[in-house]
Structure 1
Amino acid sequence: MTEIQLTDVSVRDGNQSLWGATGLGTHHMLEIAGLMDRAGFRAIDFTSSSHMAVAVRYFQNDPWERIRRMRAAMPRTPLQFITTGLRFIAWQQADPEFMRLVYRRLQANGIRKVIVLDPMHDADAVLEAARIVKEEGDAEVMGALTFTLSTVHDDKFYADFAAKLAKSPHIDLFYLKDPGGLMSPDRARSLARAVKAVIGIKRLEVHAHCTIGYGPLASLAAIETGCVDTVHVGIGPLGEGSSLPEAERMVANLREAGHEVAIDDKVLAKLSDYWWRLARAEGLPPGTPQPFDASFLRHQIAGGVMTTTRRQLEELKLGYRFDEVVAETQRVREELGAPIMVTPFPQMVMSQALFNVIGTKRYAQVSDQVLRYVLGKFGRPTAPVDPAVEAAILDRPRAREIEAEPTFPSYVDLRRRFGVHMDDEEFLLRAVMPAEQVDAMRSAGRSRGTYTPEAAPLLSLLKQLAAKPAARDIVVERPGLRIALHAGAGLD
Structure 2
Amino acid sequence: MNTNTNPLKITEVVLRDAHQSLLATRMKTADMLPIAEKLDAVGFFSLEMWGGATFDSCIRFLNEDPWERVRVLKKKMPKTPFQMLLRGQNCVGYRHYADDIVERFVQKSADVGIDIFRIFDALNDLRNIEVAVKTAKKAGGTVEGCISYTVSPVHNIPLYKDMAKRIVDMGCDILCIKDMAGLLTPQVAGPLITELKKEIPLPIHLHSHATTGLAGMNMQAAINAGVDMVDTAISSLSMGTSHYPTECIVAATQGTPRDSGLDLELLEEISAYFKEVRKHYAQYESNFVGVDINILQSQIPGGMISNMENQLREQNAHDKLDEVLKEVPRVRKDLGYPPLVTPTSQIVGSQATLNVLTGERYKIITKETRECVLGKYGKLPGELEPELVQKIAKEEKLIDCRPADLLDPEWEKISAEVGDRAKSDEDRLTYAMFPKVALKFFETRGKPLPEAAPAAASANGKKGAPAAAPSAAPAASAASAGPAVYEVKVNGKPYTVEVGPA
Q: What TM-score bracket applies, with the shorter chain setting the length?
A: 0.7 to 0.9
C-alpha RMSD of matched pairs (Å)? 3.2
Q: Distance in 2 between matches of 1:311 and 1:423?
A: 37
Deviations 1:420-463 (A, max 9, x none): 99521111112332456445456433999xxxxxxx999x99xx
Q: Distance in 2 between matches of 1:291 and 1:443?
A: 40
Structure 2 residue 408 is matched with structure 1 residue 415: no
Q: Is the 8 A contact 1:7 1:44 kept in 2?
A: yes
Deviations 1:120-166 (A, max 9, x none): 2122332332112122x111000111111101110011100000111
Q: Distance in 1 between matches of 2:94 and 2:280?
A: 35
Structure 2 SS opposite 1:445:
coil
Q: 1:375 corresponds to which residue? A: 374
Q: 2:90 corresponds to which residue? A: 87
After superposition, the Cα gap between the structure-2 partners of 1:315 and 1:289, relative to the gap in structure 1 and judged at 3 Å, is: closer
Q: Distance in 2 between matches of 1:178 and 1:334?
A: 20
Structure 2 residue 221 is matched with structure 1 residue 217: no
Pick one of 117, 126, 129 that aligns with 1:126.
Answer: 129
Q: Distance in 2 between matches of 1:256 and 1:332?
A: 48
Residue identity in the other structure for 1:146: S
Q: Distance in 2 between matches of 1:187 and 1:359?
A: 39
After superposition, the Cα gap between the structure-2 partners of 1:288 and 1:221, relative to the gap in structure 1 and judged at 3 Å, is: farther
Structure 2 SS opposite 1:431:
helix
Q: Which of 327-336 and 359-368 deviates more?
A: 359-368
Q: 1:157 corresponds to which residue? A: 159
Residue identity in the other structure for 2:206: V
Q: Is the 8 A contact 1:5 1:262 kept in 2?
A: no
Structure 1 SS opposite 2:167:
helix
TM-score, normalised to structure 2, is: 0.81
Percent pairwise identity: 28
Structure 2 SS opposite 1:47:
strand
Q: Is the 8 A contact 1:310 1:319 kept in 2?
A: yes
After superposition, the Cα gap between the structure-2 partners of 1:56 and 1:258, relative to the gap in structure 1 and judged at 3 Å, is: same
Q: 1:433 corresponds to which residue? A: 434
Unaligned runs of 5+ in 2: 450-468, 475-485, 488-502
Residue identity in the other structure for 1:322: L
Pick one of 136, 142, 145 that aligns with 2:144.
Answer: 142
Structure 2 residue 54 is matched with structure 1 residue 60: no
Q: 1:290 corresponds to which residue? A: 290
Structure 2 residue 168 is matched with structure 1 residue 166: yes
Structure 2 SS opposite 1:217:
helix
Q: Distance in 1 between matches of 2:43 and 2:443?
A: 35
Q: Is the 8 A contact 2:181 2:211 kept in 1?
A: yes
Q: Is the 8 A contact 1:210 1:289 kept in 2?
A: no
Structure 2 SS opposite 1:267:
helix
Q: Distance in 2 between matches of 1:83 and 1:331?
A: 29
Matches within 5 A, 1:165-204: 165-168=167-170, 170-200=171-201, 202-204=202-204
Shift in Å, 1:225: 0.9
Structure 2 SS opposite 1:165:
helix
Q: Is the 8 A contact 1:239 1:287 kept in 2?
A: no
Q: 2:22 corresponds to which residue? A: 18
Q: Distance in 2 between matches of 1:384 and 1:65?
A: 44
Deviations 1:313-341 (A, max 9, x none): 56656555433322221111111010111
After superposition, the Cα gap between the structure-2 partners of 1:95 and 1:34, relative to the gap in structure 1 and judged at 3 Å, is: same
After superposition, the Cα gap between the structure-2 partners of 1:394 and 1:365, relative to the gap in structure 1 and judged at 3 Å, is: farther
Deviations 1:460-487 (A, max 9, x none): 99xxxxxx89xxxxxxxxxxxxxxxxxx
Q: Is the 8 A contact 2:122 2:344 kept in 1?
A: no
Shift in Å, 1:307: 3.5
Structure 1 SS opposite 2:97:
coil
Q: Distance in 2 between matches of 1:192 and 1:33?
A: 33
Q: 1:41 corresponds to which residue? A: 44
Matches within 5 A, 1:70-85: 70-85=73-88
Shift in Å, 1:351: 2.4
Unaligned runs of 5+ in 1: 449-455, 462-467, 470-492
Q: Is the 8 A contact 1:305 1:346 kept in 2?
A: yes
Q: Distance in 2 between matches of 1:106 and 1:257?
A: 37
Q: 2:53 corresponds to which residue? A: 50
Q: Which of 319-328 and 208-217 deviates more?
A: 319-328
TM-score, normalised to structure 1, is: 0.82
Q: Distance in 2 between matches of 1:330 and 1:163?
A: 29
Q: 1:444 corresponds to which residue? A: 445
After superposition, the Cα gap between the structure-2 partners of 1:82 and 1:220, relative to the gap in structure 1 and judged at 3 Å, is: same
Shift in Å, 1:306: 2.2
Structure 2 SS opposite 1:206:
strand
Q: Is the 8 A contact 1:98 1:410 kept in 2?
A: yes
Q: Distance in 2 between matches of 1:358 and 1:301?
A: 19
After superposition, the Cα gap between the structure-2 partners of 1:408 and 1:45, relative to the gap in structure 1 and judged at 3 Å, is: farther
Q: How many residues align?
A: 447
Q: Distance in 2 between matches of 1:15 and 1:55?
A: 13
Q: 1:490 corresponds to which residue? A: none
Q: Is the 8 A contact 1:429 1:438 kept in 2?
A: no
Shift in Å, 1:281: 3.7
Shift in Å, 1:348: 1.9
Residue identity in the other structure for 1:6: I
Matches within 5 A, 1:260-409: 260-283=259-282, 285=285, 290-291=290-291, 293=293, 295-310=294-309, 312-313=311-312, 319-394=318-393, 407=407
Shift in Å, 1:262: 2.7
Q: Which of 245-254 and 185-194 deviates more?
A: 245-254
